[in-house]
Amino acid sequence: MEVLLISNYRPDKQLSMLRYAQLLQHELHCREFTVRVVHPPVIFGGLSFLPRPLKKWLGYIDKYLVAPTYLRRQAARADIVHICDHSNAIYLPCAGTRPALITCHDLLAVFAARGIYPEVEVGLTGRMQQRWIATHLSRAEHVICVSEKTLDDLELLAPGIRSRSTVIHHHLNWHYSPATAEAIAAERRKSGLHLDSPYLLHVGGNPWYKNRLGVLQIFAAMRKHSQFRNVRLIMAGKPLTSEMRRYCESCGLTNDVIERVGVSNEELQSLYSDAIALLFPSLEEGFGWPLLEAQACGCPVITSNRRPMTEIAGDAALYIDPDDPEQAARTIAEHVSDLSSLRSAGFTNLARFTTNKMVDSYMNYYQHVAQCVKADAIGPVA
């Protein structure tokens, strides 16, 4: 069976989606599938001498005018067409008569464009784009959701689509495991930490749902408790926003919050491995990869008491209310002695998310999709 994986437009730098397609390609290839990964071609949006705003608009030409013809030609040679990101649902017609499916990671952008999250403002073009995506996604005959929470959201968007959808959880997209003492010591030096300085870790970018200001607010509240007065916070991922920096200054936390921007997988592994805990109070997620990454490194997880965090972290996390920093800090202080037990519980939970389980599920679903299309082609038996 030849599988065509339609991945994302490279200049958009949606790294997690690009890694997802690469992970599928590698694992399916190991199962002796013929796999091709294709991307919308970079033509107009790749002109380096143009200013960024103009390149964004020219990128739309690449994605919405140039790409469909290219993808139709690629799909004609495949047995299965798998669109790896629901934001590319507009490419479903490119599959033609080929069996096609799509992975839905979350519906945050679609719901934001519909005003479901009042804290998020979406412009006119953004609303139009998300309406277009939602229309094509709602028409999909076969959908993989990465969590039960995402499937429930999809059912809200398109009532009845549950019957033609399934849930396949992610596995780790890198081989995270407890780091060596040498690697941990090296990472502490990069972060300006003494070998015995305790720290909490947050991993993520600055989208609203990551609640990074909330991370800082919880940390500030924790510092009021005696057991956390010497604890520092490492924020790994994107640089802090100006609002976050002002908050740190107002709370006197500037020297206690350490930014680590653009860390590698190896560096992140070391940061996870020696942290008191991962502090991950997201307001929304589609899946929540950092939860599993932390558990794979033996790092206790503190996360939001809402789905999909509860679905993914299972019994191996301390759950807090992300909307109440003071109460969250009290909960953490009351259960700080339980954090060490979450290390072994995390390894146990991780067993639910193996590569073999994930790939077996994909292979079975590919066969299901192919059989459904074949049955439709034959038609009802008289």
**Domain boundaries of the chain, sorted by first residue:** 2-171+355-378, 181-350
Instruction: For domain 2-171+355-378, give its CATH number from 3.40.50.2000, 3.40.228.10, 3.40.50.2300, 3.40.1390.30.
Output: 3.40.50.2000
pLDDT of amino acid 282: 96
pLDDT of amino acid 381: 46
pLDDT of amino acid 382: 46
In sequence order, what are the residues at sequence separation of 6 or more whose Cβ sits closer than 8 angstroms to the Cβ of residue 140? 89, 92, 100, 101, 102, 161, 164
Strand locations in the chain (E): 2-6, 34-38, 80-83, 100-104, 143-145, 165-167, 199-204, 232-237, 257-261, 277-280, 301-304, 318-320
Q: Is 81 helix (H, G, I), strand (E, B) or coil?
A: strand
Task: Spell out, as residue ranges, where the chain has pLDDT lower than 50.
Answer: 381-382
The half-sphere exposure of 176 on its side-chain side, counting CA atoms within 13 A, is: 29
pLDDT of amino acid 240: 94
pLDDT of amino acid 67: 95
In sequence order, what are the residues at sequence separation of 6 or more whose Cβ sits closer than 8 angstroms to the Cβ of residue 205? 237, 238
Give the bridge partners for 302, in sequence order: 279, 318
Tell me the whole-structure pTM to 2 decimals.
0.88
Instruction: For domain 181-350, give its CATH number from 3.20.20.450, 2.40.110.20, 3.40.50.2000, 3.40.50.720.
Output: 3.40.50.2000
181-350 shares the fold of 2-171+355-378: yes
* Under 8 Å between Cβ of 300 and 234: no
Residue carrying the six token digits 């941990």:
184
Residue carrying the six token digits 């919308």:
40
Q: Is 42 helix (H, G, I), strand (E, B) or coil?
A: coil
pLDDT of amino acid 374: 66
Radius of gyration of the chain (CA): 22
pLDDT of amino acid 348: 95
